């Protein structure tokens, strides 16, 4: 008698722990929820990058293209293109009255009278007497 009662209680617990019966795919289609309303959001532009490209004509018919990009006052850099090669140069501190930009390969210096000079790190002049077009 006790075995029958324990078997009955075990079967009740077993059926209580079973997952709900699966629904047919046609019933799932009929009970689809309507699409939710999307909330419109506006995108904010955080910063605008201003580029200014200047083409320099140098001696021996060489041309140098300098693109100045300034995200902020502290991080100024330029992209210098010479002989179809472009390098990104960072601003450097100078003692004289000129602007100087450099990286591990090139040095671009520009006097306040408007003349520029492009050198490599060994000091070899790649382009000199560069004047804005």
| pTM: predicted TM-score of the whole model, two decimal places | 0.59
- The domain in which residue 119 lies consists of 50-132
Residue listed under structure tokens 């059926």: 15
CATH number, domain of 70, equals 2.40.128.200
For residue 6, being part of any structural domain is answered with no
For residue 24, being part of any structural domain is answered with no
Check residue 86 and give its pLDDT: 93
3-state percent helix, strand, coil for the chain, nearest multiple of 5: 20, 40, 40
Question: pLDDT category, 57, cuts 50, 70, 90?
Answer: very high
Question: 90-109 pLDDT, tens per residue?
Answer: 888 877 778 899 999 999 99
Check residue 15 and give its pLDDT: 72
Domain count across the chain: 1
For residue 87, being part of any structural domain is answered with yes
Question: 68-86 pLDDT, tens per residue?
Answer: 876 656 667 889 999 999 9
Taking the C-alpha atoms of residue 96 and residue 89, their distance in angstroms, rounded to an integer, is 19
When pLDDT is averaged across residues 101-126 and rounded to a whole number, the result is: 91
């Amino acid at each position: 008698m006790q075995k029958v009662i324990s078997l009955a209680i075990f079967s009740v617990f077993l059926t209580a722990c079973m997952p709900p019966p699966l629904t047919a795919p046609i019933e799932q289609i009929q009970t689809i929820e309507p699409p939710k309303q999307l909330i419109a959001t506006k995108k904010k532009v955080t910063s605008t990058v201003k580029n200014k490209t200047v083409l320099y004509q140098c001696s021996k018919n060489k041309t140098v293209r300098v693109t100045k990009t300034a995200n902020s006052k502290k991080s100024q850099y330029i992209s210098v293109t010479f002989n179809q090669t472009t390098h990104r140069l960072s601003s450097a501190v100078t003692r004289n009255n000129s602007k100087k930009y450099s990286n591990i390969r090139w040095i671009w210096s520009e006097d306040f009278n408007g003349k520029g000079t492009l050198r490599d790190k060994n000091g070899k002049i790649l382009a000199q007497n560069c004047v804005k077009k």
